[in-house]
Structure 1
């Protein structure tokens, strides 16, 4: 019987990998596109994402919350939060808005307070590293300590190098080879 990782790979390759001509966030052309929103909000796949990502981040000490820039990170963080609760691993989730609210409390980071806490910035996929870095800037502004950036699928388009050059560990649950793709 396949494990969570193998099941996740099967769902992604079947439902979230598209072949054709695509322009990526970086402006580069690609012959395939990985659209994880097709599966990260699916009731069968979200728990698998949570399990695989929870396994991925298990070795990072002292982490108490996960989240990232809305929209790609939201279902990933929620999946990790729920799987953590099921395993007895206490992790909160947070959402980083693209811009601070212009009303109410004017917050950019929503959810439980992350000041003074070690957090992991999550993302479904990252092409350039821009979204995690934007989330990191907002999180550091409110006093969070960034333990790592963790993505479900690394597209091998330079995000790892950008994140690591900025001084943050980069973790990926899956890469293109896992999905039968080449960069």
Structure 2
């Protein structure tokens, strides 16, 4: 699959949005990828995750024991990556504001974990999920996402493998360009601003 074919998957799912968006990080942007729209089609989800696994460096596939993703946005993509890799998939969630394993999920000490996200913007949620996985005894060997929209700036502290990079400038609320400021903002993400 080429990068254009991957973006076509988002376009065909009406998931590549244009306008004025407030991202989960609180920053503003003119384009937004709504991964939930892409992931609502199981065949499309499977294709994208299988392509991501295909692009992994040699040896990484075999080194993963379990996939763990942050809820909510990462649950479906984490499950699909688990299926593509042939390993269990779990998720961390924030019932009290801090990621933790719940629902009877547990990691055996030293299990090698792929932390899987749908979209990485600043990397904050990813780093928080990685910290929770480590606190539960997991060895995070890599992180992956469908989309890296950090403009190459996200440092997750482990090797990071996005399926595609979408470089879209983002802005703090007090530094918006005039054309973006003229459009009403919407918040399509999963976190309150």
CA distance, structure 1, for counterparts of residue 153 and residue 117 of structure 2? 11
Matches of 1:45 and 1:156 in 2, distance apart? 24
Aligned-residue CA RMSD (Å) = 2.5
1:109 deviation in Å? 7.4
Q: 1:158 to 1:83 in 2, by over 3 A?
A: closer
Instruction: Name the SS for the 1:26 alignment partner.
Output: coil
Corresponding position of 1:83: 84
Answering whether residue 175 of structure 2 is matched by residue 175 of structure 1, we say no
- 2:132 equivalent in structure 1: 138
In structure 1, C-alpha distance between the alignment counterparts of 2:127 and 2:104, rounded to whole Å: 17
Where do 5+ consecutive residues of structure 1 fail to align? Answer: 85-89, 101-105
Residue in structure 2 matching 1:92, options 88, 93, 113: 88
Q: How far did residue 148 of structure 1 move?
A: 1.1
How far apart are 1:97 and its partner, in Å? 1.4
Instruction: Provide TM-score, normalisation by structure 1.
Output: 0.77
- Which structure is richer in relative contact order (CA contacts within 8 A, separation 6 or more)? 2
1:55 paired with 2:54, answer: yes
Unaligned runs of 5+ in 2: 170-193
Distance 2:28 2:39 in 1: 24
Q: Are the counterparts in 1 of residues 18 and 32 from structure 2 also a CA contact under 8 Å?
A: yes
- How far apart, CA to CA, are the structure 2 residues paired with 1:168 and 1:32? 27
